[in-house]
Each structure stands twice: as C-alpha cells, then as structure tokens.
Amino acid sequence: MYADLQIPRDIYNTEEHEMLRETVREYVKQHVLPYREEWEEESCCSREAWLKAGELGLLNLSISDKYGGGGLDFSFSALLIEEMSKMGPDSPAISMHSDIVAPYIEQYGSEEQKHHYLPKMATGELIGSLAMTEPSTGSDLQAIKTTAVDKGDYWLLNGSKTFITIGYSSDFSLVACKTRPGTPQEGVSMLIVDATLDGFSKGKPFKKLGLKTSDTCELFFEDVKVPKDRLLGQEGTGFIMMMTELPRERLTVAIQAVGAAEGAIESVIEYTSERTAFKQPIAGFQNTQFKVAEAAMKLQLNQCYVDKCTELLKEHKLTAEQASVAKCTATDMQFEVLDQCLQLHGGYGFMWEYQICRMFADSRVSRIYAGTNEIMKVMVARKLFNNYFAELKAKRKAKKMAAQN
C-alpha cells in the first residue's frame, strides 16, 4: 500500500492528529457519503452536514479558542483537508469556510466582527464565502468593477461576483470591491456582506463538471446598504489582504491534490488486485505496476514539498512563490495520477458510481481555481526575472515623470 512507501511525515506526529483523523473518517462515512447523490441532485450539501461538522469540532480548527475555534495549528487543518480529499467528497467545503474565510476575519476583523462571526462559524450556524472573481475578471483581480461608495452611514455596494464556492449556502460573503472608484488608487477594500441585506441576491448553484455537491454560484449586489462597521480592516487595503491570504488558499488546494492522489492510488491498488484479465489480476501486468509506481513516486515528491509548505505556513513563513510552486505542481500531479488511475479501472472508471470517476471530474478544477496554474507560473517567473522587472518598472517611471515635466 502507498502508506508503506511513504517516508515518515513529521507534520502529523501527535496523538491528537490521529484522533482528528479518526473523527474526520467517521464524519465522512456517517454524515457525508450517504447523502452524496441527494446533494449532487441539488448541487449543494445540507446545513445539517455543516452543523454536524461543527458539533464534532471540525470547523475553524486553526482559529483561536477565544473565538470558539479549535485553537490548533495549521497542521490540523491540513490533516482534515487531506483526509476528506483522500476519501473523495467535495462537500461540505470546510477548507473554504474554516481555512480561507475565517482567517480573514481573525487577522483583519475588529473585535466586534470576530465575536459576531467566528463563534457561529465554528458551530456551522453561520457559513462564510469569499467573493473576489467577477464575470469579466478572475485572474486580474485589480480589474474588478464592483464598487462600494461611502454614503456617510453606510457603503452603497453595486456589482456582481461569479463562481463563488458555497456562495449559495453562505450566510455572509467577504466581498472585494473598489471604495474609491474613479480615483487613481481606486481603493480595493473588503466588506463583510450579510446575505439578509436588501439588494443582495444569489443565482442558482451552477451545474458543473465536478465538485457537484459543493455549490458554486453568482452573487448580485444592487444598491446594497452595507453598514459602515462591516468594512474588514482598513479601507483601501483589500488588495494587500488578498495577496497576503492567497498563499494559504493555494496551499489548501495543494493539500487537497495530495489527498486525492493518495486516495486514488490506494483504490487502484485494491481494484487491480481483484479485477482479472487474461486469467490473471490486472495488478499482475508490469504495465499496471509501473504506472502505479510512477504515480506513487510523483505523489511522494509532492507530498514532501507540500508538507514543508504546511510547516512554513504554521511558522508564518510561507511565501507567495512557494505556495504557487506547491499549488501548480501538486495539482498537475493530481490530474496525471487520477487520469492514470482511472485508465487502470477500464470502462468502470468512466462510470459515475465509481469513486475514481468522481475524483477525476473533481480534480479538473484544481488547475483553475485559487489562481490558474498559468498565474502560478507568472508568480514564479516574476521572482526568477526579478532584475528584469525592476529595470522595466524604473524605465516606465522615468518615462512617466519625463512626460509630466
């Protein structure tokens, strides 16, 4: 089995980690997998699943216990993400809620905001989403068009967002918007927008290639009066916040990728050991053994790198480029490994009731969301060609100043 090949993993090294692993596995078996088809029909999972996760202490694991969270370090979140991904289900999207949305509030929120949102997020009574992407822009976040104009007592929010994970289920959304539209800086800011506010509406969950039980939808804002105290952090710092938080989001996708690849390898070993062709198990063909060995080798290298990034994040040292490397290489590996594992299932691999089929469909988006893999390469290349970009910037600045004089 793949577990026997792994070099020891230092990141999950306590009894508490093992206890969490058991809890996650039981939760998925009892409260997620039995409802999968129902949720696929609805393109959305139930609130009960969130509440159950809250009851078992599986939400907001890395958020301070002062705000109702688990008070644990990020390795516990990583274990939860990996274990769920290994078992296959894409819902509930705990990592989006607990490891992406909640940290924004914990890091940048006022005490009132933290006490209002975080304890209820930990129980599942409140679900949070993050809305950056718009119909006309995803990769280029500086080009967002949603605006929030200061009206004295409130922000007047107008615009729309798309592809928002758990947007349909969420009770509030962190919305990236421009608070000084028309000025040179434009002031990208983040607002916490409650779904109950007048003028805030949601599209129906999209029908997708994969991640069918996790809702993804459009959000619309038409003259929404967002209370002044729902600004997250300082006005005009939204872009910096997103750039600071995106490495964590990218690492969670890399962790999911590693988990999915491990789950697929374990299941293909089992399947090919039982299925026969030409009077012998499929596992008896050297091609099968080599393909699975290659998959395991690729996974092993990625797992080591992703584990290192988890450690770095725990120590608040993970850089944007390291997270980009993890996200890009782990999700490319995930896609290759799942494709290979599906191939070894033959025709059954193409059947929806087979786990490998769902996992393959789910894996496709990993190279797209949280920043496409092309954008990850842009980030890495920018670092490599640092001097070239610095010179280019200086030339542009000089040209601009000359034009002004």
Ligand X SMILES: Cc1cc2nc3c(=O)[nH]c(=O)nc-3n(C[C@H](O)[C@H](O)[C@H](O)COP(=O)(O)OP(=O)(O)OC[C@H]3O[C@@H](n4cnc5c(N)ncnc54)[C@H](O)[C@@H]3O)c2cc1C
* 369 is an interface residue for ligand X by CB under 6 A: yes
106, 134, 218, 249: the active-site residue: 249
Among 32, 132, 226, 242, contact with ligand X (rule: CB under 6 A): 132
Q: Which is nearer to ligand X, 162 or 303 (CB)?
A: 162
Shortest distance, position 220 Cβ to ligand X, whole Å: 15
Of 21, 11, 23, which Cα lies nearest the Cα of 53?
Answer: 23
* 103 is an interface residue for ligand X by CB under 6 A: no
Shortest distance, position 137 Cβ to ligand X, whole Å: 6
Q: Which is nearer to ligand X, 158 or 372 (CB)?
A: 372
* 104 is an interface residue for ligand X by CB under 6 A: no
Shortest distance, position 369 Cβ to ligand X, whole Å: 4
Among 54, 70, 138, 349, contact with ligand X (rule: CB under 6 A): 138
* 130 is an interface residue for ligand X by CB under 6 A: yes
**Distances from the Cα of 402 to the Cα of 185, 261, 390, 395, angstroms:** 21, 55, 18, 11
Q: Which is nearer to ligand X, 19 or 378 (CB)?
A: 378
Shortest distance, position 39 Cβ to ligand X, whole Å: 15
Q: Report CA dihedral (103, 105, 107, 113) to the nearest 10 degrees.
A: -150
Q: Which is nearer to ligand X, 114 or 250 (CB)?
A: 250
* 173 is an interface residue for ligand X by CB under 6 A: no
What does DSSP say about strands 200-202 and 280-281: parallel, antiparallel, or unpaired? unpaired
Q: Which residue is nearest to ligand X (CB)?
A: 138
Shortest distance, position 322 Cβ to ligand X, whole Å: 19
Which residue stretch of 279-287, 313-321, 341-349, 361-369 sits at the interface with ligand X (rule: CB under 6 A)?
A: 361-369
**Which residues between 255 and 314 bind ligand X (CB under 6 A)?**
none
Among 62, 77, 216, 288, contact with ligand X (rule: CB under 6 A): 216
Of 238, 131, 198, 208, which Cα lies nearest the Cα of 363?
Answer: 208
Specify whether 311 is catalytic: no
* 368 is an interface residue for ligand X by CB under 6 A: yes
* 87 is an interface residue for ligand X by CB under 6 A: no
Q: Which is nearer to ligand X, 65 or 374 (CB)?
A: 374
Enumerate the active-site residues: 249
For ligand X, the binding residues (CB under 6 A) are 129-133, 137-139, 163-165, 211, 216, 365, 368-372, 374-375, 378
